[in-house]
Amino acid sequence: MVDIAAVLSHFNININEANPAFSTGATWGSSEVTFIKDIISPVDGKKIAAVTMATSADYNRVADKATDAFKQWRTLPAPKRGEIVRQIGQALRENKDQLGKLVSYEMGKSLQEGWGEVQEMIDICDFAVGLSRQLYGNTMASERANHRMYDQYHPLGVVGIISAFNFPVAVWSWNAMLAWICGNVCIWKPSEKTPLTAIACQSIVQQVFAKNNIAEGVSCLIIGDRVIGEQMAADPRIALVSATGSTRMGKAVAVTVAQRLGKYLLELGGNNAVIISQDANMEIALVGAVFGAVGTAGQRCTTTRRLIIHQNIYEAFKQKLVSAYAQVRIGNPLDEHNHMGPLIDHDAVNAYLASIEACKAQGGKFIVEGGVLTGDDYASGCYVKPCIAEVENYFEIVQHETFAPILYLIKYDTIDEAIELQNAVPQGLSSSIITNNLREAEQFLSFAGSDCGIANVNIGTSGAEIGGAFGGEKETGGGRESGSDAWKAYMRRQTNTINYSADLPLAQGIKFDL
């Protein structure tokens, strides 16, 4: 079993004393009354360590420090910033084993997924390094003779990153690496449920910045509650707020930031479906469905929550699912033999139980029953059974996102009906069709197909690669992170015109003689 004390010591996380509320490369005290929060692992219910929660005064000091640091950081050429991000990627490679273990123990996802999350950080560093030499603008033809027009991109300033517990480090890195490449500085507010992995990442990053003589404030970490998040959203010093979390939280952030005409990037809830055609490869469909539904104990925004199955194969596929669920191994996520670990905390367990009861009350029929696991191996009280219910898509509970391993089965007859069912929820993050029918696949990807930001063929709803832009539509928020041209969200666009003639011709042939 993993020696967690050694892992914490590796990242200079103090087990016996409260860890600092924030860091910009130096530890400052607060003049206000502080609150100490114990961090409890859902794996075994034990206290890992404690953190000092930041105050409003702490936040203001951090924001001032970041604002000052931006003035210097933006002057460093983008390829030079890329070299520093390259070094961060190398440092993450060297710390992958220990950081992956900490992710697994603090959050509760399987060790393989913990290592995989750190690998995503390494991958986005590699992507960002290449991007540092490709921050291209366009050159346009001017209608005026001897004029040149082009557009270019400049950094925004301070980027605030509010991340969620389910991916405690990867989503921060999607934002931070691109923001740094673009010349911005970052203030990171991690989930207060998983602050220790954030402290570990900050330790790694700060060592790289210090080695390169980079001023404090380019990478800032602040650990606080909802009040700190609200302060960040309302702060005019924050040019862009990137927030990952529930739709409720995202709507609040959007309203607050919009009131000051700031920019926001939202990655919110998902209610993802896989359409399983009668022409599907059943093995692909089964693996994709089970991993999508039980991976990270159903606590991914891309978790598969609905299976829309053709009526001709519905009964046969249902039996395959029941058999597969009987083989899912639930237990300590640091044991690589287990497929599924715990939910994040008891509040999540209660939400899971309430959703099961609501589903039954609305007419859902459970073919694999849920429940909380008990016994010495499940002492934290956060381990639950993945369950499956036959439902109708219009059920109120099916229209909501429950962050838990509850899978809903729905029948369909025609591909048009399946796509309509897939789209008939408020969320629009990830979607998938499993089919060997080319016409079905193309229709699913067409303008008349999936209305989600991510649409896959013959893979599941989870497991996005960093090379593509990640994000969704409708109540998912409309933001895009990670690959493709998502970098443009962290920049301000400027159109430039240069007149190299001896005259001043006006656009559209206007004459203005003096």
- At residue 226, the pLDDT reads 93
Average of pLDDT values for 476-505? 96
pLDDT band at 464 (very low <50, low <70, confident <90, very high): confident
Average of pLDDT values for 113-120? 97
At 347-394, the pLDDT tens digits run: 999 999 999 999 999 999 999 999 999 999 999 999 999 999 999 999
pLDDT band at 33 (very low <50, low <70, confident <90, very high): low
Q: Which three-class secondary structure state does DSSP give residue 469? A: strand
At 254-266, the pLDDT tens digits run: 999 999 999 999 9
- At residue 512, the pLDDT reads 74
- At residue 30, the pLDDT reads 43
Contact 58, 29 (CB under 8 A): no
3-state helix, strand, coil in the chain (%, to 5): 40, 20, 40
> Tokens for 215?
């001023």
Residue 450 has pLDDT above 50, yes or no: yes
Averaged confidence pLDDT in the chain: 95
For the chain, percent of residues with pLDDT exceeding 90: 91
Give the whole-angstrom CA distance, residue 60 versus residue 181. Answer: 25
Average of pLDDT values for 232-240? 98
Residue 144 has pLDDT above 70, yes or no: yes
Give the whole-angstrom CA distance, residue 444 versus residue 212. Answer: 49
Annotate 313-348 with three-state secondary structure. Answer: CHHHHHHHHHHHHCCCCECCCCCCCCCECCCCCHHH
- At residue 6, the pLDDT reads 92
Which residue in this structure is represented by tokens 């029918």? 437
Average of pLDDT values for 323-330? 98
Burial (Cβ within 10 Å: 0-12, 13-18, ≥19) of residue 510: exposed
Contact 492, 508 (CB under 8 A): no
Residue 274 has pLDDT above 50, yes or no: yes
Select from 78, 14, 110, 12 the least CA-distant residue to 334: 110
User: Where in the sequence numbering do the catalytic residues fall?
Assistant: 267, 301
Bin 471: left if φ > 0, else alpha if -120 < ψ < 50, else beta. Answer: left
Average of pLDDT values for 434-451? 98
- At residue 28, the pLDDT reads 40
- At residue 22, the pLDDT reads 77
What's the predicted TM-score (pTM) here?
Answer: 0.96
Position 512: which residue type? F
At 172-198, the pLDDT tens digits run: 999 999 999 999 999 999 999 999 999
Residue 208 has pLDDT above 60, yes or no: yes
Q: Give the relative orientation of helices 314-325 and 282-294 as an angle to the nearest 10 degrees.
A: 50
- At residue 34, the pLDDT reads 64
Average of pLDDT values for 471-487? 97
pLDDT band at 135 (very low <50, low <70, confident <90, very high): very high
Residue 427 has pLDDT above 80, yes or no: yes
Give the whole-angstrom CA distance, residue 184 versus residue 54. Answer: 23
Give the whole-angstrom CA distance, residue 286 versus residue 290. Answer: 6
Instruction: For residue 238, list its beta bridge partners.
Output: 158
Select from 17, 24, 19 the least CA-distant residue to 70: 24
Residue 376, Cβ neighbours under 10 Å: how many? 5
At 156-176, the pLDDT tens digits run: 999 999 999 999 999 999 999
Which residue in this structure is represented by tokens 């029929």? 365
Residue 281 has pLDDT above 60, yes or no: yes
Handedness of CA 89, 92, 97, 103 (dihedral sign): negative
Q: How far is CA 456 from the centre of its chain?
A: 18
pLDDT band at 407 (very low <50, low <70, confident <90, very high): very high
